[in-house]
Amino acid sequence: MMTDQTLFEKYGGFSKISRVVLAFYDTLLDSDEVGPFFDDIDMSRMVDHQTKFIASLLGGPASYTDSQLKQLHSHLDIQHAHFDELKVVLSGTLEKHGFDANDVDIVLQEFENRRSLIVG
């Protein structure tokens, strides 16, 4: 019998997602284009917030409203090229952590659905 399982549950919950997010930032911080956005950021807090955000994209218990996402990014000059790079890094990170290709596509679509809230 098949039970409905969220991607959050399928991929191991917060402990696995936090490892994915740490790997995501290891790559992102080395980026000449996107890395500087994090120069003066408390990365432990950022990893915590991003873990909750990615978990929410996977159907997990955490969530951010559209207005929260917009407010959190409104002071940043995030362009479409930055967002696109984030998607590429996220995709590669999810793949390296054993996410099925179809599940990666689902997560990237959820991320894409929030582009207008994040890109200035």
Q: Which string of DSSP letters, residue by residue, matches 32-87?
A: TTTGGGGTTS-HHHHHHHHHHHHHHHTT-S----HHHHHHHHTTS---HHHHHHHH
Predicted local confidence at residue 4, as pLDDT:
85
User: Taking 70 as the threshold, does the pLDDT of residue 1 lie above it?
Assistant: no
How far is residue 14's CA from residue 103's CA, in Å, rounded to a whole number? 17
CA distances from 32 to 5, 47, 89, 105 (A): 38, 20, 13, 26
Predicted local confidence at residue 120, as pLDDT:
84
On whether the CB atoms of residues 12 and 94 are closer than 8 A, the answer is: no
As a whole number, mean pLDDT of residues 85-108 equals 96
Predicted local confidence at residue 6, as pLDDT:
94
Which letter does DSSP use for residue 91 in this model?
H
**Domains present along the chain, CATH in parentheses:** 10-118 (1.10.490.10)
How far is residue 95's CA from residue 100's CA, in Å, rounded to a whole number? 7
| Amino acid (1-letter code) at residue 96 | K
The predicted-structure confidence for 64-88, as pLDDT tens digits, reads as follows 889 999 999 999 999 999 999 999 9
Predicted local confidence at residue 2, as pLDDT:
56
Question: What band does 27 get if pLDDT is binned at 50, 70 and 90?
Answer: very high
Predicted local confidence at residue 9, as pLDDT:
95
As a whole number, mean pLDDT of residues 91-101 equals 97
The pair phi, psi for residue 78, each rounded to 5°, is -80, 125
Predicted local confidence at residue 68, as pLDDT:
93
